[in-house]
Amino acid sequence: MTNQNLLPVFAGSLSNVETLLCDARKLHEFLQIGRDYSNWIKSRIEEYGFQENQDYLIARQIGRAKNQGRGGHNKVEYHITLDMAKELAMVERNEQGRAARRYFIECEKKLHESLIAQSPLPTLPKKRRTSKVCLSIEQMSAIAYHVYVASVVLSNVKKEVLPILELLNSRHSEHWHQIIQSYETTAEEHCRMLYAVLPPDWLSYQDKRLTIAQYLEKAFYANDYHGLAL
């Protein structure tokens, strides 16, 4: 007989929250505990601090004694959460307890998968049609100039600040080395890309022995791009 038959799990509600529950009496039988059910569940609740309406709820059922001449009597059942059931199974430290714990974990997994399957997929808005963004030569010059300015600043840091940090044996020295090295690599790649898209008048400036940095600076200020939001 499978664990599913021995340990049925059912839907219930604790403090108005839907959850999966298990009959503690069935769990007691499955774990093959050598003590009576009533004393076992009460002692475990007290020992581990389980809270009513948080970890379990009490369901009173009216049953009949074996002696049909007697009247009905109240039968107390404890419906426990799977978290509580897993803990009760685990503290028994036997194979039955480990099997029960694995079974409850599998029940929770199946519930989770079921909820995901039932949840409607969010409706995504239709993708807006956007025109391809192309930067003009002037805008590229403005961006490139900012890269150039930053490289100058970092170059000064490398020449003037780093020696002082190293002299003081500062822990920030290695950090700045890494920043500058990373930025220099990025700046070199950026300049290589710029050579492929520079405007035709770059050649005339090149004839005048103007460096690319000087050209970018001239183009930047000539077109008043220093107010451009990048």
**Residues 34 and 41: beta-carbon distance below 8 Å:** no
Burial 169-203 (b: 16+ CB within 10 A, else e): eeeebeebeeebeebeeebeeebeebeeebeeebe
CB atoms inside a 10 Å sphere around CB 92: 17
Per-residue pLDDT at 119 exceeds 50: yes
Distant-in-sequence contacts of 132-139, Cβ < 8 A, 24+ apart = 137/197, 137/198, 137/199, 138/219, 138/223, 138/225, 139/225, 139/228
Distant-in-sequence contacts of 195-202, Cβ < 8 A, 24+ apart = 197/137, 197/140, 198/137, 199/137
pLDDT the model gives residue 130: 45
Instruction: Check residue 26 and give left, alpha or beta (phi > 0: left; psi -120 to 50: alpha).
Output: alpha
Looking at the chain, the whole-number percentage of residues with pLDDT higher than 70 is 43
For 154, list phi and psi in degrees, rounded to 5.
Answer: -65, -30
pLDDT in tens, 1-55: 455 667 899 999 888 888 999 999 999 999 999 899 999 999 999 999 999 999 9
Least confident of 7-16, 58-67, 84-93, 98-107: 58-67
Least confident of 70-79, 99-108, 210-219: 210-219
**Residues 68 and 16: beta-carbon distance below 8 Å:** no
Read off the tokens for 164.
């002082």
pLDDT the model gives residue 209: 46
